[in-house]
Amino acid sequence: MNIENLFENDGRVRVAVIGEGPAGMMAATVAAESGAEVIIFEKNDKAGKKLRITGKGRCNVTNDSTNQELMAAIPTNPKFLFAAFNRFSSADTKSFFESHGVPLKVERGKRVFPVSDRASDIVNAMVKACRDAGVKVVREKITSLDIRDGKVCGVCNSNSVCECDSVIVCTGGKSYSMTGSDGDGYKFARAAGHKIVEPKPSLVPIVADGNLCQRMQGLSLKNIGFKIVDNKSGKCVYDDFGELMFTHFGLTGPVVLSASAHIPDIEKGKYTAYIDMKPALTHDELDKRIISDFAKYINKDFINSLSDLLPLKSIDIIAECSGIDDRKKVNSITKEERGALVEAIKGLKIPLLRFRPIDEAIITKGGVDVREVSPKTMESKLCHGLFFAGEVLDLDAYTGGFNLQIAFSTAVCAGENAAWNFEA
């Protein structure tokens, strides 16, 4: 497709937005509402491919938090977001969607969802906001930027250049690349002289060492305690409650994904996970519970005495970790052996090996180095007229709607400033 003469050239500032995800659609809407002529370039055949699968299809659109609380949920470069959150807070995100016809509700952990539980309602509202503001969408992959004398002058596809006054790069990170975010934004930023902080997976499943998880594959545990300990220092780097699943490779589920955001990297021997399968019981209370189960199964083999206490798939593993002989009669188990059983249940040890690949990560840690981007305007400090918004930046947050809030807040700043900064 020839993209040369797509802008009307009617005197308005011409803004090209690359990417029709949450950041791109918000930036485009705001730029157009600020008076610019705006075109979104999107290589997918529909808007918000990733946004549609967020929150398991329900879209946790923001977190009902103060700006201070938002920043506390962002492990990488939170201070960079101070001005952006002041400009567009989570209350503003809620007002935006409610005023665009999507009623919202607040759930556990202040997570905000559409009342309909449909991420597609969020996508449709953003598409309509773009349309109402007069944004054009061109379904085309951008291959490079036209940069001359330290200023961006256009976006290029394989055979033509579309001239414009400013470009907002909203191409996302590198995770879930089948949704379109495959790292092109880093290429554009590098060509403009930007440093890219190495993209790494975050909010990602974890591969375990050994075969314990494989043997419990398919088992899903709710309300467990989950801890990760640094083997060398003995320091606990993560400690929370939640839900996890055992898989053929290791561990996944909400508490595991959250834990991954607290660790920079995993290598063999560095970290061990401890799963507390009975966090509501103290060691003594659990021991009492075991004594009562043992009384019930007094003449049974040890291995056949645990089915009231533990899920079936975990019994062999816990028995093995306790060191008690499977076939030992319950009536001959000693107090010390019971102590070892309590330890195995309250601290099932899983040595960790590595993260799963970035493609399986919910978000990308790393990206365009924010030291080279203005935190107020999201404009590049190296190339005039070039703006960044969303996950392409070196910003990442925990689960809870914070990552979409980052996309919206940075996009509003970029959209306004891309439209205001230039004289046509």
Shortest Cβ 267–ligand FAD spacing (Å): 25
Smallest gap, in angstroms, from Cβ of residue 44 to ligand FAD?
5
| Window 339-398: residues binding ligand FAD (CB under 6 A) | 362-363, 390-391
Q: To the nearest whole angstrom, how small is the minimum distance from the Cβ of residue 94 to ligand FAD?
A: 13
Q: Does 253 bind ligand FAD (CB under 6 A)?
A: no
Q: Does 22 bind ligand FAD (CB under 6 A)?
A: yes
Return the residues of window 395-424 that contact ligand FAD according to CB under 6 A: 401-404, 407
Q: Which stretch binds ligand FAD (CB under 6 A): 54-62, 145-153, 206-214, 300-308?
A: 54-62
151-156: strand order across its sheet = 144-148, 151-156, 161-163
Region near ligand FAD per CB under 6 A, out of 170-178, 189-197, 289-297, 300-308 = 170-178
The region of 38-46, 67-75, 99-107, 239-247 touching ligand FAD under the rule CB under 6 A is: 38-46
Query: In the structure encoding, which two tokens stand for residue 276, read together?
Result: 């507390």
Long-range Cβ contacts of 122-126 (<8 Å, 24+ apart): 122/48, 122/51, 122/54, 122/59, 122/61, 122/97, 123/47, 123/48, 123/51, 123/52, 125/97, 125/100, 125/101, 126/22, 126/25, 126/26, 126/29, 126/47, 126/48, 126/51, 126/100
Please report whether residue 88 would count as binding ligand FAD according to CB under 6 A.
no
How far apart are CB 408 and ligand FAD at their closest, in Å? 9
Q: Which of 18, 244, 273, 358 binds ligand FAD (CB under 6 A)?
A: 18
The Cα 336–Cα 331 span in angstroms is: 14
Q: According to CB under 6 A, which one of 12, 33, 34, 44 is a site residue for ligand FAD? A: 44
Using the rule CB under 6 A, is 110 a contact of ligand FAD? Answer: no
- Please state the three-class secondary structure of 339-408 as a single string: HHHHHHHHCEEEEEEEECCHHHCCEEEEEECHHHECCCCCEECCCECEEECHHHECCECCCCCHHHHHHH
Q: Contact at 8 Å (CB) between 343 and 107?
A: no
Q: In the bound complex, what is the minimum distance in angstroms from residue 320's beta carbon to ligand FAD?
A: 34
Using the rule CB under 6 A, which residue among 60, 89, 93, 377 binds ligand FAD?
60
Binding status of residue 278 toward ligand FAD by CB under 6 A: no
Running DSSP on this structure, what letter comes out for residue 195?
-
CA distance 68 to 51: 25
- Name which position in 70, 142, 266, 342 contacts ligand FAD (CB under 6 A): 142
Residue 213 binding ligand FAD, by CB under 6 A = no
CB 68 within 8 A of CB 158: no
**111-114 sheet: strands from edge to edge:** 62-63, 111-114, 104-107
The single residue among 43, 174, 346, 356 that binds ligand FAD, judged by CB under 6 A, is 43
- By CB under 6 A, name the binding residues for ligand FAD: 18-24, 41-44, 49-51, 53-55, 59-60, 141-142, 170-172, 175-176, 179-181, 184, 362-363, 390-391, 401-404, 407
